[in-house]
Chains A and B, each alone.
Chain A
Amino acid sequence: MRISDCSIRELGRLLRERELSAAELTEHYLERIERVDPATRAYITVLPEEARARARTADAALASGEEIGPLTGIPTALKDNLCLAGAPTTCASAMLADFRPPYTAAVAEKLLRAGAVVLGKLNMDEFAMGSSTEYSAFFPTHNPWDPARVPGGSSGGSAAAVAAGTAPYAIGSDTGGSIRQPAAFCGVVGLKPTYGAVSRYGLIAFASSLDQIGPLTRTVADNALIFTAIAGHDPRDSTSVPDAPADCLSGLADGVRGLKIALPQEFFTPGLAPGVEKVVRDTARRLESLGAEVSLCSLPHMDYALAAYYLIAPAECSSNLARYDGVRYGLRAPAAGMIEMFQASRSAGFGPEVKRRVMLGTYALSSGYYDAYYLRAQKTRTLIREDYARVFTDHDLILSPVTPDVAWRIGEISDPLAMYMGDIYTIPVNLAGLPGISLPAGLADGLPVGVQLIGRHFAEALLYRAAYALEQSGLFTARPALAEVD
């Protein structure tokens, strides 16, 4: 078996049984990045020296014979909007091309403390705004299943690295589908946790009330393992919940017998590609065959989700990104005066999609428009939340598509609105703060198709249970050609 095919658990076993050292494992991945990454371009920054140093520390811990956690010595990579002290953290933006934060994000800190070896920082749409990683200021990332296609976004680098086997697992962030959609496009497992389950401290903000950090992995069990490692209260994030995270691992194999699963009728519209719809319906039948009850449900306000999202997220973005003014850090463009310097720096530092959203958000919050836009969007958000709550009074999970179609060709979609439309199945989940998992469930035209399971707040354990049952039933076993490269 190829090392890059091993799950985190398998790698952990190899390390603990000393069949492989952490140093060897890290070298293996660093070499693989050199060979394979030019075809996907998932990495913005590779950190070989730091990785080797951490691998040595892991080996020392392994040699000491002390109790070793499941992540010790296992390599990983971080989306480039997660701060890592001293390492470039660019948000795939010219604005932060040279930015090295003096502190480390809570999630990265947890992983490092658990012995993780960070291989590098992964490509994304600039400031996580986009659905294809084409809006990276540096270069687009290619889908390991077809390099002519996008890997999805904004965590495109994270999904592509896991799919191509250049990282055993990766961390991404999801504001409106940015973990689940690339996971679906690249045939990997991606979780958007419940809002508040994972600390956002050190995640460079896009839209604060929607952003969540989550894992992208090849298997469901790996995903549950990483989620467990990164979840939990953090006093530095006031929106992180004080409760201890649920145990997602021990009940993983409990099956779906008796679970009530809802299929939202609003999601099966003409916009849904037949190949994708078929995979979703096949998955529903498979759940039934595994003992779950599947029935239709209604989420009547879904039509307004996209509009609400594209007011709330840009509004928060316009304020969150105001700090990039060239005064303290980041790009400073020379100009005659202060205001002119702000303008020149922001004009040069931000790409087209970021500018578009900053302008949208500024407008939505403007005096005289606030009530009509931002306030109405917040009210819509409440209605959407209530839609889900109603369904969850008599259902355990919702099954839905992740995306209306498979990955598109790089450059194929130039209309921003058309790209926004691709997020209709994932955005409402962020608006409601619910957990959603994207699970590879089939192929359409040779490209992976994901399905999404949505649960109640903090029902990650149940999501994993159902996803695991589907995965173990042999739902999806295909691998991209690039993963086969040695």
Chain B
Amino acid sequence: MACDDKYEMVCGIETHVEMATKTKIFCACSTEFGAEQNTHVCPVCLGLPGVLPVLNREAVNIAIKAGLALNCQVASFSKFDRKNYYYPDLPKNYQTSQYDLPIAAHGWVEITTAEGPKKIGVTRAHMEEDAGKLVHSGETITSSAWSDVDYNRAGVPLLEIVSEPDMRSADEALAYLTALVRILDYAGVSDCKMEQGSVRFDVNMSLRPHGSGELGVRTETKNLNSLSAVRRCLEYEARRQAEVLDGGGRVVQETRTWDEGRGVTVALRVKEEAHDYRYFPEPDLMPLKISPAWIEAMRRSLPELPDAKRERLIKLGLSPYDAGVIVAAKELARYFDEALQCGPDVKMLANWLTSELYGLLNAQGGSLADCRVRPPQLAALVKLIKQGTISGKTGKAVLETMFSTGRDPETIVREEGLGQISDTAALAAAVDEVLARNPKSAEDYRGGKEQALGFLVGQVMRATQGRANPALVNQLLKEKLG
């Protein structure tokens, strides 16, 4: 990429996440996604004349938890402000947000880079209400004869998380967002369903010559709602800005929008971005006072976060790689922990979960959440293998049956007679029969040909459909031949 040679990227990202409350931030309407247009609305979120907002305390709880999870200082005194601008999806033509006293500030998120761990600063996190959604009659707003406005989303609580301009490449930006989204998901701040628009990004980016301490002119690109869009946008914008700079031009400080279809950023008309938001304190809400006790209660209610969980799994004996794979998705980590409660071997469990069970999920489709193999069952399977009741090979077959039927591994092994034969008496007969049928091999072994033993073991395994305990067969053969 052109910019890598000459220029260094400087990137900061604003992340908007819908907080996981049942009701909206200032009224009792449901926040559920996907309802029929304008059914989750009331006089308050429609901004009818005379209505007043009432702050949803659960939104504050979640915002405090987010602040703590992002290593922020949570403000003891915070307030709401009105951000004034006209748009039909904004029922009051102002958005109740937080301006100069956000609920949390001065935090960081740690990422892993090629050069090692790096902290990306979190400037601030503030609460605000989401706007509604325009549903255009045509493909785009400009080609539409008319647009519907759906206010179901209006008033859904948002947390806007503003990063420092600490990222130096698209890889770092992606690492930051991946870590951020994972933390928010773990902490229960948001369901982080990007496909439903619960997380959206505005990307600020500029270029500067390598080694320069000064910042270049930045652009802000809005309307990004997936990690891949952020990557493509950064790569596009870096190329575009590098071309401008290489051509002796100057980057224009402006707001751009991401065109997903064409994979390009497009400048918004100057008129559209020339906003003076006329912020002033929201007179309909009292300032928010957050006591140390309240913050402490939220800290105690936080679940184990990804970094801590990863450390714990490494201490339990997992490789950093395996621990990383398990922590990467909250569902997977939760499944692992639940299975771990039943006491199976940690490494074997990790392997059976991430290779075998995930292999089946990938091959046959489906998610861990509705997988018929429940964590205690997987743990039981791992135990059966570990204690030698079944072989690893049989284990795979048992897992497939578990996957399609949801039955317990013990039941499958018992009913289908899959248990490993470790009974000396039972095996002795099979050994005798194999020796009787293969006198030549027995002779060879006695004559000093060690390989002949392997052949004989294989014959016993075959005779028992693989269920014989190989170690025991070995031992029996040696005794008989000795």
A residues lining the B interface (CB < 8 Å): 81-83, 89, 91, 96, 99, 101-103, 105, 200-205, 207-209, 235-239, 315-316, 318-319, 322-323, 325, 327-329, 338-339, 342, 362, 365-367, 370, 374
B190 to chain A, nearest CB (A): 25
Q: Is the CB of B280 within 8 A of A323?
A: no
A428–B301 alpha-carbon span in the complex (Å): 47
Q: Is the CB of A365 within 8 A of B52?
A: no
A430 to chain B, nearest CB (A): 13
Q: Is the CB of B54 within 8 A of A323?
A: no
Q: Is the CB of A323 within 8 A of B91?
A: yes
Q: Is the CB of B93 within 8 A of A208?
A: no
A210 to chain B: closest residue by CB:
B283
A238-B286 contact in complex given A323-B91, A325-B86, A366-B278, C-beta closer than 8 Å: yes
Of the 9-residue stretches B42-50, B175-183, B191-199, which lies at the interface with chain A? B42-50
A328–B276 alpha-carbon span in the complex (Å): 24
A376–B43 alpha-carbon span in the complex (Å): 34
B151 to chain A: closest residue by CB:
A328
A319-B149 contact in complex given A204-B50, A208-B283, A366-B276, C-beta closer than 8 Å: no
A interface secondary structure, majority: loop
Determine if B226 is an interface residue (Cβ-Cβ < 8 Å).
Answer: no
A20–B86 alpha-carbon span in the complex (Å): 54
Task: Point out the residue from B48, B53, B280 that lies within 8 Å of A315, measured CB to CB.
Answer: B280
Determine if B55 is an interface residue (Cβ-Cβ < 8 Å).
Answer: yes
B interface secondary structure, majority: loop
7 residue pairs, one from A and one from B, having the closest CB atoms = A322-B93, A365-B278, A208-B283, A209-B283, A204-B49, A204-B50, A202-B50
A201-B51 contact in complex given A322-B92, A323-B92, A325-B88, C-beta closer than 8 Å: yes
Residues of chain B within 8 A (CB-CB) of A316 are 280, 283
A339–B269 alpha-carbon span in the complex (Å): 14
Residues of chain A within 8 A (CB-CB) of B276 are 366-367
Number of interface residues of B (CB under 8 A): 28
A240 to chain B: closest residue by CB:
B52
Task: Point out the residue from B48, B51, B278 that lies within 8 Å of A319, measured CB to CB.
Answer: B278
Which residues from 262 to 283 on chain B have a C-beta closer than 8 Å to any C-beta of chain A? 276, 278-280, 283
A82–B49 alpha-carbon span in the complex (Å): 10
B residues lining the A interface (CB < 8 Å): 43, 46-55, 82, 84, 86, 88, 91-94, 149, 276, 278-280, 283-286
A238-B49 contact in complex given A102-B43, A323-B92, A325-B86, C-beta closer than 8 Å: no
Q: Is the CB of A101 within 8 A of B278?
A: no
Residues of chain B within 8 A (CB-CB) of A200 are 52
Task: Point out the residue from B49, B52, B88, B285 that lies within 8 Å of A236, measured CB to CB.
Answer: B52
Q: Is the CB of B149 within 8 A of A327?
A: yes
Taking A81-B50, A91-B49 as given, write out 18 further A-B residue pairs in contact, using a Cβ cutoff of 8 Å, ordered by the A residue number. A83-B49, A101-B43, A101-B48, A200-B52, A202-B50, A203-B50, A207-B283, A238-B53, A238-B55, A238-B285, A239-B286, A319-B280, A323-B91, A325-B88, A325-B93, A328-B46, A342-B86, A370-B280
B372 to chain A, nearest CB (A): 46
Q: Is the CB of A365 within 8 A of B280?
A: yes
A68–B46 alpha-carbon span in the complex (Å): 37
A217–B44 alpha-carbon span in the complex (Å): 32
A99-B49 contact in complex given A322-B93, A323-B91, C-beta closer than 8 Å: yes
A322-B86 contact in complex given A208-B284, A367-B278, C-beta closer than 8 Å: yes
Q: Is the CB of B50 within 8 A of A374?
A: no
A201 to chain B: closest residue by CB:
B52
Jot down 30 A-B pairs with beta carbons below 8 A, ordered by A.
A81-B50, A82-B50, A91-B49, A96-B49, A99-B49, A103-B48, A103-B51, A200-B52, A201-B51, A205-B49, A208-B283, A235-B54, A238-B286, A239-B52, A239-B284, A315-B280, A316-B280, A316-B283, A318-B84, A319-B94, A323-B47, A323-B49, A325-B86, A325-B88, A328-B47, A329-B48, A338-B88, A339-B86, A367-B278, A370-B278
Residues of chain B within 8 A (CB-CB) of A322 are 84, 86, 92-94
B47 to chain A: closest residue by CB:
A323
Residues of chain B within 8 A (CB-CB) of A374 are 280
Residues of chain B within 8 A (CB-CB) of A102 are 43, 48
Residues of chain A within 8 A (CB-CB) of B84 are 318-319, 322, 365
Residues of chain A within 8 A (CB-CB) of B283 are 207-209, 239, 316
Residues of chain A within 8 A (CB-CB) of B43 are 101-103
A194 to chain B, nearest CB (A): 15
B436 to chain A, nearest CB (A): 90
A319–B278 alpha-carbon span in the complex (Å): 9
A47 to chain B, nearest CB (A): 18
Residues of chain A within 8 A (CB-CB) of B53 are 238
A322–B93 alpha-carbon span in the complex (Å): 6
A84 to chain B, nearest CB (A): 10
Residues of chain A within 8 A (CB-CB) of B284 are 205, 208, 238-239
A83–B44 alpha-carbon span in the complex (Å): 13
A250 to chain B, nearest CB (A): 31
A103 to chain B: closest residue by CB:
B43
B295 to chain A, nearest CB (A): 21
B41 to chain A, nearest CB (A): 10
Residues of chain B within 8 A (CB-CB) of A328 are 46-48, 91
B285 to chain A: closest residue by CB:
A238
Q: Is the CB of A101 within 8 A of B49?
A: yes
Residues of chain B within 8 A (CB-CB) of A91 are 49
Q: Is the CB of A319 within 8 A of B52?
A: no
A362–B86 alpha-carbon span in the complex (Å): 13
Residues of chain A within 8 A (CB-CB) of B278 are 318-319, 362, 365-367, 370
Most A C-beta atoms less than 10 A away, residue of B52, B54, B93: B52
A201–B280 alpha-carbon span in the complex (Å): 21
A293 to chain B, nearest CB (A): 37
Residues of chain B within 8 A (CB-CB) of A89 are 49-50
Q: Is the CB of A205 within 8 A of B50?
A: yes
A366–B82 alpha-carbon span in the complex (Å): 13
A319–B86 alpha-carbon span in the complex (Å): 10
A201-B50 contact in complex given A209-B283, A319-B278, A370-B280, C-beta closer than 8 Å: yes
Residues of chain A within 8 A (CB-CB) of B149 are 327
B80 to chain A, nearest CB (A): 10
B147 to chain A, nearest CB (A): 9
Q: Is the CB of B280 within 8 A of A83?
A: no
Q: Is the CB of B93 within 8 A of A238?
A: no
A211–B49 alpha-carbon span in the complex (Å): 14
Residues of chain A within 8 A (CB-CB) of B82 are 319
B84 to chain A: closest residue by CB:
A319
A338 to chain B: closest residue by CB:
B88
A362 to chain B: closest residue by CB:
B278
A205–B276 alpha-carbon span in the complex (Å): 23
Q: Is the CB of A238 within 8 A of B47?
A: no
B89 to chain A, nearest CB (A): 9
Task: Point out the residue from A101, A237, A367, A370 that lies within 8 Å of B52, measured CB to CB.
Answer: A237
A338–B134 alpha-carbon span in the complex (Å): 13
Q: Is the CB of B94 within 8 A of A83?
A: no
B27 to chain A, nearest CB (A): 9
Residues of chain B within 8 A (CB-CB) of A323 are 47, 49, 91-93
A237 to chain B, nearest CB (A): 5
A79–B279 alpha-carbon span in the complex (Å): 31
A367–B274 alpha-carbon span in the complex (Å): 12
Residues of chain B within 8 A (CB-CB) of A208 are 283-284
A200–B50 alpha-carbon span in the complex (Å): 8
A321–B248 alpha-carbon span in the complex (Å): 48
A327–B46 alpha-carbon span in the complex (Å): 11
A380 to chain B, nearest CB (A): 15
Most A C-beta atoms less than 10 A away, residue of B46, B55, B84, B284: B284
Most B C-beta atoms less than 10 A away, residue of A81, A236, A362, A366: A236
A343 to chain B, nearest CB (A): 10
Residues of chain B within 8 A (CB-CB) of A101 are 43, 48-50
A82–B149 alpha-carbon span in the complex (Å): 27
A405 to chain B, nearest CB (A): 31
